[in-house]
Structure 1
Amino acid sequence: MTRLLFVCGRNRWRSPTAEAVFARYDGIETQSAGIGKDADTPVSAEAIEWADLILVMEPAHKEKLAKAFGPLLRSKRVVVLGIPDEFRFMQPELIALLEERVGRFIDLPGL
């Protein structure tokens, strides 16, 4: 089982979409969180420890994670997907972009 943690700013559109999309794949467990102070589900130490791979939407998210959770990230792989905050929850263009970008880092059946 591969555990993916998706992180965006407020955990409202991008990372919850990613969580829902990739939870459909066999062999993958997902969680999502936000790095912002007003995140619906803030990133936690427990989520970081749980994850096999952490996928953030923007470089700034990776920087904020490093500041807040530096020691916990030493043994973790953190990947920047480069997905801007211009999509809504489950928007088809966002789903396509997520599948294409995440597919670069893990094997997804059918991609």
Structure 2
Amino acid sequence: MNILFVCSRNIWRSPTAEAIYKQRQDHNVRSAGTEPSARIRVSSKDILWADIIFTMEKKHKQRLVNNFPVETKNKQLVILDIQDDYKYMDEELIEMIKISVDPYL
């Protein structure tokens, strides 16, 4: 399964999620951001590659749908509802991601 994690700047939340799930043999994982200043900016190629897309907030899903309407049309987009209150690999962030994502996998 190809999994894409999306947040704003691809610095804290989505790279943490990528690091957690990259260890699993049965998944291919990427992360990206929606902002122009993102470390890795989400592209249409990323969206087409993904089987499932997890966004950290509702605004990220909306940006994907607005900027990539064709690519997101038949994609499963899941909002994790994780605010930008955490640093990379924060223990609480890891726990929230696992609780939110695992049921989908």
TM-score by length of 1: 0.92
Aligned length, in residue pairs: 105
Write the distance in 1 (CA, Å) between the matches of 2:39 and 2:5: 13
Aligned partners of 2:53 and 2:10: how far apart in 1?
A: 14
Percent pairwise identity = 39
Higher helix share: 2
Structure 2 residue matching 1:4: 3-state secondary structure:
strand
* Structure 1 position 11, deviation (Å): 0.2
Amino acid at match of 1:78: L
Secondary structure in 1 matching 2:68: helix
Q: Which amino acid aligns with 1:22?
A: Y
- Residue 90 of structure 1 aligns to a residue whose secondary structure is coil
Gaps in structure 1 of 5+ consecutive residues:
107-111
Counterpart secondary structure, 2:5: strand
Q: Structure 2: which 5+ residue stretches go unaligned?
A: none
Query: What is the root-mean-square deviation of aligned Cα atoms in Å?
Result: 0.7
Residue of structure 2 in register with 1:109 after alignment: none
One-letter identity of the residue aligned with 1:5: L
Q: Deviations over 1:45-77 (max 9, x none)?
A: 111111000000000001111110011111211
